[in-house]
């Protein structure tokens, strides 16, 4: 311990401490004078200000960013909404004021009182909304009688206006009030109860761009709540504008084609992943969320058997059915279990073990090559290819083509689908893979599940000579002054595991689906343009039929889902389309014409080719 005292003795510290003491006392003196100033000298003034809690904060909601389509048509903007509110503590006396107000706006005073009672969370100096979005007539009445109505306020705030109603609603989404659970999350730090946020779609994903920054006013009010003075104002900053990649005209066309049916249509530029149209049917009007929906309306919406709230294009998971044959063909060619010239005989039935697996064509296709099997969608051919490959090799190719995983399109709730493997089945069900199940997988039935968007990516990648691209829906985000704050960039998402040769064979098959004289989708031909595609018919129940033990409400629920994926022009593709029609029965009859019309509309060709005339045309 003595070593401590070598250089520094306690007197030295004492001297330093005296200095510190002086500084501390100066600090306390400063605080003391401030107390004296605030509480004694200025006390009266502060007392007056505190009496009615005079200094208040009014928030100014920022106008949310606008949403445009690729060509600059305005899809979503804002309109002013006039809300009638009351600050309970300023409405002296509350009952009288409410009685008068009730008379002017023709509502019962009890109902109004109930609204105030049920608004427990609102501090008493903040207005309780009695009626939102009142019309101009009512507004005039209230403004005229303003002086008899202490505490009553008309609050103007911008609300969302979806110019095209239900159009592209699944892509754009809608806004709604933030809920208690969302308020607690880190994502919504800085939000307050009552704030509007994007609830789904682009409105939700691009929330941070669209929202803008709230402004506000510090105001001094008198005893009846009227503003005496505005102390400070901070203007709200409007949100950034979002430019979608979709084309409003094409979008409308796609929606009209799906009208009355449940399903989805997605179109994309295969070269870069720009989504050109994305629709899901049935849809709903997002404007009804803005003003507040009645409970009954909400119930109908959520209990609708066709799930209008679901975005079937990215959330709907369906067996890919025959569209999956693209994958099986690719795996077969790449693994060498078949070549372009391998022929397999189809007599309509494929016997495996003691079970018969049927081809959709009862009488059989005869000798089939891979190109013809794609064109005519022969099941037996692919049963055999599947059997040669085994499920795990098929799954490897499917996954490498982006199936079984999200495409990362940048929208919430995207489905990943499912690509079964023997290991997966073991884990999921505890039993090993049955070789017969491989047959179902090879033709896209069984456990296989894909979204329309995933199958669109497959079609696009075939069109794009094997290059997979990440789909996207927003081209750019611009600030109010026109500066770009975000710009879409192409993202390569890997290559299909297929050689040029293999791809050429598949492309030939898909070309023949539409253009061959026995192709399954001859209906999809367009004058002057070659379309390539693949049909699919996804069974809802097994073809063997399980009617006996299923309660059937309507026959419709047993009908198959119709698929068609396509791209055009075949030689130099600029558009790819994926269509699913739930319970549309056949891909060829229900889905292919929709894809055809979307392609024709996009390429500016409005005349489908006369079928009869084309049937005779031999390649």
Give residues in contact with other proteins (CB under 8 A): 1, 4, 6-8, 10, 12-14, 16-17, 20-21, 24-25, 27-28, 30-32, 34-36, 38-40, 42-47, 49-51, 53, 55, 57, 59, 120-125, 186, 189-190, 214-216, 218, 231-234
Shortest reach from residue 42's CB to other proteins, in Å: 5
Residue 8 to residues 20, 406, 485, Cα–Cα distance (Å): 18, 70, 62
Nearer to other proteins by Cβ, of 27 and 432: the residue is 27
Alpha-carbon span 169 to 289, nearest angstrom:
12
Smaller CB separation from other proteins, 8 or 227: 8
Residue 453 CA to its chain's centroid (Å): 12
Helix (H) or strand (E) run with residue 611 in it: helix 611-616
**518 vs 615: CA distance, rounded Å:** 9
Residue 479: CB minimum distance to other proteins, A: 13
- Taking the least distance from each CB to other proteins, the nearer of 10 and 256 is 10
In 3D, which of 185, 337, 305 has the Cα closest to residue 583?
305
Q: How far is the CB of 96 from other proteins (least distance, A)?
A: 23
Q: How far is the CB of 277 from other proteins (least distance, A)?
A: 38
Query: Cα 554–414–409 angle (5° rounding)?
Result: 130
Name the residue nearer to other proteins (CB basis): 348 or 480. 480
Residue 29 Cβ vs other proteins, minimum distance, rounded to whole Å: 10
368 and 346 Cβ atoms separated by less than 8 Å? yes
CB of 232 to other proteins, least distance (A): 4
Least distance from other proteins to the Cβ atom of residue 133, Å = 26
Provide, rounded to whole angstroms, the least separation between the CB of residue 31 and other proteins. 5
CB of residue 222 to other proteins, shortest distance in Å: 16
**Judging by DSSP bridges, how do beta strands 67-68 and 241-244 pair with one another?**
parallel
* b (16+ CB within 10 A) / e for 126-159: bbbbbbbbbeeebeeebeeeeeebbbbbeeebbb
Task: Tell me how far, at minimum, the Cβ of 62 lies from other proteins, in Å.
Answer: 12
Cβ proximity to other proteins, 28 vs 549, nearer residue: 28
- Minimal distance in Å, beta carbon 474 to other proteins? 23
How, if at all, do strands 366-368 and 355-358 pair?
A: unpaired
Which residues contact residue 186 at a Cβ distance below 8 angstroms, ignoring those fewer than 6 apart?
none
Cβ contact 569:493 at 8 Å: no
452-463 vs 325-335: helix axis angle to the nearest 10? 50
- Which residue lies nearer to other proteins by CB, 50 or 291? 50
Question: What DSSP letter does each residue of 381-428 carry, written as one string?
Answer: HHHHHHHHH-HHHHHHHHHHTTTTS----S-TT----B---HHHHHHH
CB 361 within 8 A of CB 333: no
**CA 214 – CA 531 distance, rounded (Å):** 51
Cβ proximity to other proteins, 123 vs 430, nearer residue: 123
* CB of 40 or CB of 489, closer to other proteins: 40
User: Using an 8 Å Cβ cutoff, are 532 and 510 in contact?
Assistant: yes
Round to whole Å and give the CA distance between 325 and 462.
13
Q: Do 398 and 404 contact (CB within 8 A), yes or no? A: yes
Residue placing its CB nearer to other proteins in the complex, 57 or 504:
57
Structure tokens at 254: 């796609």
CB-count burial class (<10 Å; 0-12, 13-18, 19+) for 474: buried
Active site residues: 322
- Residue with Cβ nearer other proteins (14 or 551): 14
Closer residue to other proteins in complex, CB, 215/366: 215
CA distances 386 to 326, 329, 380, 433, 483, Å, are: 12, 9, 10, 14, 54
Buried (b) or exposed (e) across 209-230, using 16+ Cβ within 10 A?
Answer: bbbbebeebebebeebbeeeee
| Separation of alpha carbons 364 and 358, rounded Å | 9
**Greatest Cα pair distance in the chain:** 115
3-class secondary-structure state, position 476: strand
């Amino acid at each position: 311990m003595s070593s401590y005292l070598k250089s520094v003795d306690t007197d030295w510290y004492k001297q330093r401490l005296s200095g510190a003491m002086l500084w501390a006392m100066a600090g306390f003196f400063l605080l003391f004078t401030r107390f004296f100033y605030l509480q004694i000298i200025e006390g009266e003034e502060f007392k007056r200000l505190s009496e009615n809690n005079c200094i208040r904060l009014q928030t100014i909601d920022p106008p949310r960013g606008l949403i445009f389509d690729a060509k600059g048509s305005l899809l979503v903007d804002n309109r002013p909404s006039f809300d009638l509110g009351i600050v309970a503590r300023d409405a002296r006396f509350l009952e009288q004021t409410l009685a008068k107000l009730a008379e002017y706006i023709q509502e019962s005073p009890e109902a109004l009182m109930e609204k105030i009672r049920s608004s427990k969370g609102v501090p008493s100096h903040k207005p309780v909304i009695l009626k939102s979005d009142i019309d101009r007539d009512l507004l005039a009445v209230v403004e005229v009688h303003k002086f008899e109505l202490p505490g009553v306020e008309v609050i103007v705030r911008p609300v969302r206006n979806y110019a095209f109603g239900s159009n592209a609603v699944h892509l754009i989404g809608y806004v709604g009030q933030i809920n208690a659970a969302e308020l607690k999350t880190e994502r919504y730090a800085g939000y307050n109860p009552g704030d509007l946020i994007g609830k789904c779609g682009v409105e939700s994903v691009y929330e941070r761009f669209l929202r803008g920054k709230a402004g506000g006013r510090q105001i001094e009010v008198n005893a009846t709540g009227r503003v005496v003075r505005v102390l400070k104002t901070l203007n709200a900053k409007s949100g950034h504008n979002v430019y979608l990649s979709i084309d409003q005209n094409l979008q409308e066309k796609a929606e009209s084609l799906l009208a009355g049916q449940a399903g989805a249509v997605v179109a994309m530029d295969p070269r870069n992943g720009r989504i050109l149209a994305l629709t899901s049917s049935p849809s709903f009007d997002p404007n009804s969320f803005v003003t507040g929906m009645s409970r009954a309306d909400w119930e109908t919406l959520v209990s609708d058997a066709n799930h209008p709230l679901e975005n079937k294009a990215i959330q709907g998971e369906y067996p890919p059915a025959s569209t999956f044959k693209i994958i099986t063909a690719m795996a077969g060619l790449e693994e060498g279990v078949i070549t372009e010239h391998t022929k397999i005989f189809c007599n309509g039935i494929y016997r495996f073990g003691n079970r018969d697996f049927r081809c959709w064509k009862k009488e059989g296709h005869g000798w089939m090559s891979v190109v013809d099997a794609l064109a005519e969608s022969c099941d037996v051919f692919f049963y055999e290819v599947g059997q040669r490959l085994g499920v795990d090799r098929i799954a490897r190719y499917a996954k490498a083509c982006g199936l079984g995983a999200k495409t990362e399109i940048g929208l919430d709730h995207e489905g990943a689908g499912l690509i079964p493997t023997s290991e997966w089945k073991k884990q999921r069900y505890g039993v090993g893979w049955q070789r017969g199940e491989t047959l179902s997988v090879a033709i896209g039935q069984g456990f296989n599940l894909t979204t329309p968007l995933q199958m669109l990516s497959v079609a696009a990648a075939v069109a794009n000579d094997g290059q997979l691209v990440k789909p996207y829906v927003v081209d750019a985000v611009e600030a109010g002054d026109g500066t770009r704050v975000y710009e879409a960039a192409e993202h390569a998402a890997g290559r299909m595991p297929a050689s040029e040769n293999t791809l050429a064979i598949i492309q030939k098959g898909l070309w023949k689906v539409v253009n061959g004289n026995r192709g399954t989708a001859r209906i999809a031909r367009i004058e002057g343009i070659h379309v390539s595609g693949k049909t699919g018919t996804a069974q809802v129940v097994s073809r063997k039929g399980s009617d006996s033990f299923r309660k059937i409400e309507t026959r419709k629920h047993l009908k198959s889902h119709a698929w068609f994926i396509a791209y055009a022009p075949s030689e130099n593709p600029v558009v790819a389309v994926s269509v699913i029609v739930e319970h549309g029965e056949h891909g060829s009859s229900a889905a292919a014409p929709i894809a055809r019309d979307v392609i024709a509309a996009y390429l500016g060709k409005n005349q489908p080719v006369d079928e009869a005339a084309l049937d005779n045309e031999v390649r």
